[in-house]
Structure 1
Amino acid sequence: MVMDVSRSERKIDHIHHALGHEREHHNHFDDMDIVHQSLANLDYHSLNIGTEVGELSLSSPLFVNAMTGGGGAKTEEINRDIAIAAKETGIGMAVGSQMSALKNPEERKTYEIVREMNPEGTIFANVGSEANAEQALEAINMLQADALQIHINTLQEMIMPEGDRNFTERLKNIEQIVTKSTVPVIVKEVGYGISKESVSTLRSIGVRYIDVGGRGGTNFSKVENLRREKPLASFNNWGIPTPMSILELSHHFPDIHLIGSGGVRHGLDGVKSLILGAKAFGMAGGLLKVLIDEGKDALVTEIEHIHREVKIAMMLMNARGIPDFRNKAYVLYGRTKEWADQRL
């Protein structure tokens, strides 16, 4: 059964279901322990949490990952508040897919509010892999964006009652966007992780920025199944958990600029992403829940708390800067260890 809903109504559905659906009982970041170093020799107040992700210079490894826009006044309000919080805390922000605004100009303001509220901030535009180069450039210009995310969401589309079914133009579209874009192009998954095989193909068409978007956070299989008359529930646990995806990509492709996202619950999960090879980490659903439940000021407090967690970890590992996290001592357990043994 295909539900007759508008794109904007679907955006609101996604927010409600994403906030309410049950997360996995096991987060694979818990398969990793950082080895404590007792002899700290740093000054907490001199620590630098800035990071370089290729051409992008970020004042924090944390950014608010793609969530929403295109759903009318409600999503405009959410993006406005996130943009204000990002400005106050000095972090980057990605908007949700701008395809709705490219097809319906009335939705542009739900995205443009981000740049209006944060004129000097780092902002990522976002389109789907169905977008052509002209649409991608329009999305970038809409936000005067510093980078562009191209989201890959095959399984979500397959479960979505009204989703796309033809992906034959995907790689050609991505290659043309990478060639013509004036800003870094980040290919990101939406909760299923990216494999070394996929990155090998993406590298061959010029992609150098990857957001793994691994399994562990918002589960769009479950979100879309909540909208189906007969759920395709067998795919609810499909995908590569975030630590596993970061591990194999950083091992096989040291030239790729990696971003870790998907199931990052707090600063320490973010630090684990950095140790495994990411240069920054994104959070989405957890921050959205804070905003919706407690408001913008609480979101600012939460971001500041995450920064504090990162800096405490720096002290405990003698890491003067974010790049120093790379290859600090850690131990893996369980399925993540088994993945590493078989895929690295």
Structure 2
Amino acid sequence: MIAERKDDHVRFATEQHRRRSGHNQFDDVSFVHHALSGIDRSDVSLATRFGGIEWQVPLYINAMTGGSPKTGAINRDLAIAARETGVSIATGSVSPYFADESVADTFSVMRKENPDGFILANINANATVEMARRAVGLLRADALQIHVNAVQETVMPEGDRSFASWGPRIERIAAGVDVPVIVKEVGFGLSRETLLRLQEMGVRAADVAGSGGTNFARIENDRRDRPDYSYLDGWGQSTPACLLDAQGVGIPVLASGGIRHPLDAARALALGASAVGASGLFLRTVLDGGVAALVSLLSSWTDQLEALMTVLGASTPADLTRCDVLVHGDLRAFCADRGIGTRRLATRSLSYGTDFHHTNHETIGGTR
């Protein structure tokens, strides 16, 4: 039954991405173009650091699947693509392994194919410390993702219905494993209040995983005999909304959910993400074109992100948070309701004292 569910998830997720409309709230974020802000490409580094972790590029293949022969083959191809491009990768939830150890190789194939890469094991928030350690051992994982997915579980016909223990369990796991713990949503977003709680629990980083990408409420609704929960299609906060909500929170944040291209990755980094991940697009790419297609896509993203940083004058991913951005539309309305100031984002480069911006500012202000 678990293997069948995992195959269903792949099928429905792929169908979703094939018919997805082009717009999401990343389109409500734009960079202010400063024509003389560009730097030399040779001065750009894609390396990113957060929570004691260092990645050579700020991109990662986010959690997807595992637990059946078909999904094991997908994990193998994803791991090869990660190895060839140097991006980090997360396995899907290893819950099937806890229920049936015979499916171990559908997950451990990631480490077999990517022996030196950065791999995140993935478990749910019902796991014990002992289960968390088993997951890390299975993958020889460099970090542990814990996914929180109350909305998905609610719609899932066979899903969990008890969530009160999640917080205490996460805190125990964070203290009980020897690798960094990263908590992630599955497409409904992490609010500022949730991020503050995770920080108190000792979680090293959080993946906001907002709406705009794969919709697991819709996937689980498609698996039901009747689509009883179709009204939940718009539940949650978008990834850019979560990133803006996280401004000033001490815990490092990662961004996934609705990332369509390198410009969205640059937007997410500019809004404070330390790294950017995707699942559905990468899944569709590897299913349609195999490993070579995904390697080509990831290489292109890396190259184009570096090009965008060069134009924007950002020598590191963290420097993108100094770039001026405008927030429009529904995203701006969200910020107003949550008490998030957006005007300062449009002129924040002035705070960093670049000669060009200071000169323009002083001339326009009439002080020269």
TM-score band w.r.t. shorter chain? over 0.9
Per-residue CA deviation, residues 292-324 of structure 1 (Å, 9 max, x unaligned), is 011110100000111122111111111111111
8 Å Cα contact 1:277/1:327 also seen in 2 = no
Aligned length: 336
Tell me how far apart the structure 2 counterparts of residues 48 and 332 of structure 1 sit (CA, whole Å): 27
8 Å Cα contact 1:23/1:218 also seen in 2 = no
Tell me how far apart the structure 2 counterparts of residues 323 and 104 of structure 1 sit (CA, whole Å): 42
RMSD: 1.2
What is the identity, as a one-letter code, of the residue corresponding to 2:134? E
Residue in structure 2 matching 1:247, options 244, 247, 260 = 244
What is the identity, as a one-letter code, of the residue corresponding to 1:323? A
Residue in structure 2 matching 1:258, options 248, 253, 256 = 253
Aligned to 1:81: 77
Q: Does 1:229 align with 2:225?
A: yes
Q: Does 1:183 align with 2:183?
A: no
**Higher mean Cα deviation, 201-210 or 213-222?**
201-210
Per-residue CA deviation, residues 149-196 of structure 1 (Å, 9 max, x unaligned), is 000000000000111111121111101000111111001000000011
Aligned to 1:213: 209
Residue in structure 1 matching 2:288, options 267, 288, 293 = 293
Return the TM-score normalized by structure 2: 0.89
Q: Does 1:270 align with 2:304?
A: no
8 Å Cα contact 1:68/1:95 also seen in 2 = yes
Q: Does 1:113 align with 2:109?
A: yes
Tell me how far apart the structure 1 counterparts of residues 142 and 251 of structure 2 sit (CA, whole Å): 18
8 Å Cα contact 2:147/2:184 also seen in 1 = yes
Residue in structure 2 matching 1:166, options 162, 165, 171 = 162
Aligned to 1:98: 94
Give matches, 1:17-96, under 5 Å.
Answer: 17-21=12-16, 22-23=19-20, 26-70=23-67, 72-96=68-92
Tell me how far apart the structure 2 counterparts of residues 68 and 43 of structure 1 sit (CA, whole Å): 40
Q: Helix, strand or coil for the counterpart of 1:292?
A: helix
What is the identity, as a one-letter code, of the residue corresponding to 1:57? E
8 Å Cα contact 2:39/2:311 also seen in 1 = no
What is the identity, as a one-letter code, of the residue corresponding to 2:47? G
Tell me how far apart the structure 1 counterparts of residues 262 and 72 of structure 2 sit (CA, whole Å): 27
Residue in structure 2 matching 1:200, options 196, 202, 214 = 196
**Higher mean Cα deviation, 167-176 or 122-131?**
167-176
Cα shift at 1:207: 2.0
Residue in structure 1 matching 2:143, options 118, 124, 147 = 147
Cα shift at 1:9: 0.5
Q: Helix, strand or coil for the counterpart of 1:230?
A: coil
Cα shift at 1:57: 0.7
Aligned to 2:362: none
8 Å Cα contact 2:180/2:203 also seen in 1 = no
Q: Helix, strand or coil for the counterpart of 1:326?
A: helix
Tell me how far apart the structure 1 counterparts of residues 39 and 201 of structure 2 sit (CA, whole Å): 43
Tell me how far apart the structure 2 counterparts of residues 314 and 106 of structure 1 sit (CA, whole Å): 45
